[in-house]
Amino acid sequence: MQAILALEDGRIFRGEGYGAKGECYGEVVFNTSLTGYQEIFTDPSYAGQIVVLTNPQIGNYGTNAADNEANKPYIEGLVTREFSPISSNWRSQQVADEYLERFNVPVISEIDTRALVRHLRNNGVMRGVISSIETDPEILVQKARSIRKMDGTDLASVVTTTTRYEWEPEPDPLESEENATPLPRPDLHVVAYDYGIKRNILRMLSREGCRVTVVPAQTSAEDVLAMNPDGVFLSNGPGDPEPLGYAQETIRQLAGKKPIFGICLGHQLIGLALGGKTYKLKFGHHGGNHPVQQTETGKVEITSQNHNYAVDAATLNQDEVAITHINLNDQTVQGLRHKSLPLFSVQYHPEASPGPHDSHYLFRDFRKMMVEFKK
């Protein structure tokens, strides 16, 4: 079937439609990862966004339940150069076309994704529509312009769990049952705020000997302290961090009372809670090869990233907060640490699913912080 991608500035791309027949709407962003498309599909941080994948061949190794980062895809739509209608991999359980159709995600393929990405890089992310039912591009451009902007929108409340639950540890999806690494017996308790949390984050916490209780985004500090955890984790998530005033206030109430570790949206919320400000990047950071430097050691990590907002370094109180990591591509803030309280955060994804494993040490650092705080 034929499909059209229309951007709010009037740019039109025509291609072949896959996945679900119909229309989808969202902010159009691009991701440069070479593998891990299913993990990208199911990352709740992509809620409200149409994702362009720069790797030209997508879908060729299919999909399987073990690679899901959430129970369903959260991308609004998908844009690719080539979309494979078949899969060839021993782990594949369903072809990507059927998988996305099952969850009502439209796909447009056979377009010049290089031209599209260059357009987004030059002009910034913008609203767009994918349609396989409307043939008039002018109508679709008007629809794109009518989409609510992500700025000022609280999407964490949309994707968060509705009830508290205990995470059941599970094996690494890439390890066989015979060769699976035994998980340590949990001796620490972490309460994890779900602003759009990914499963591999929960796996990483389990591998550090943590029993994890996942709570909804608007859970009060009082309720968390009543559980007497050894630490609090603030997860990744979609959208603008500024509207989440409830989360910022909760962080201020928890700071100093329990060790806190934040990732991505959790990092931005920490920045806001400590008096800083955030701003929107031109086209964001989405991919698995972003170089980040530790400011204290000079060591460089290759990181996985997925965010459109960043903490403004100039607005932070340098007497209280240390900048621990910077992005070598654009010098944006990538890590924070409070100088007197047990609290730190990073903008990137140390669980890296998909992506490199350079930053796994941060989960060990969190465990060390919790152990020392208990003494």
Distance between CA atoms of residues 358 and 302, nearest Å: 6
Strands 188-194 and 210-216: parallel
Neighbour count for residue 285 (Cβ, 10 Å): 23
The CA distances from residue 356 to 1, 61, 247, 305, 324, in Å, are 37, 19, 29, 11, 19
Query: Residue 286 catalytic?
Result: no
Three-state secondary structure string covering the chain? CEEEEEECCCCEEEEEEEECCCEEEEEEEEECCCCCHHHHHCCHHHCCEEEEECCCEECCCCECHHHCCCCCCCCCEEECCEECCCCCCCCCCECHHHHHHHCCCEEEECCCHHHHHHHHHHHCCEEEEEECCCCCHHHHHHHHHHCCCCCCCCCHHHHCCCCCEECCCCCCCCCCCCCCCCCCCCCEEEEEEECCCCHHHHHHHHHCCEEEEEEECCCCHHHHHHCCCCEEEECCCCCCCCCCHHHHHHHHHHECCECEEEECHHHHHHHHHCCCCEEEEEEEEEEEEEEEEECCCCCEEEEEEEEEEEECHHHCCCCCEEEEEEECCCCCEEEEEECCCCEEEECCECCCCCCCCCCCHHHHHHHHHHHHHHC
185 burial (CB, 10 Å; 0-12 / 13-18 / 19+) is: exposed
Q: Are 262 and 269 in contact (CB under 8 A)?
A: yes
Query: Looking at 8, 27, 242, 351, which residue is catalytic?
Result: 351
Query: Looking at 290, 307, 325, 349, which residue is catalytic?
Result: 349
Q: Tokens in use for 95?
A: 């072809």
Query: Residue 349 catalytic?
Result: yes
Query: Residue 264 catalytic?
Result: yes
Query: Looking at 69, 264, 286, 307, which residue is catalytic?
Result: 264
Residues designated as active site: 264, 349, 351
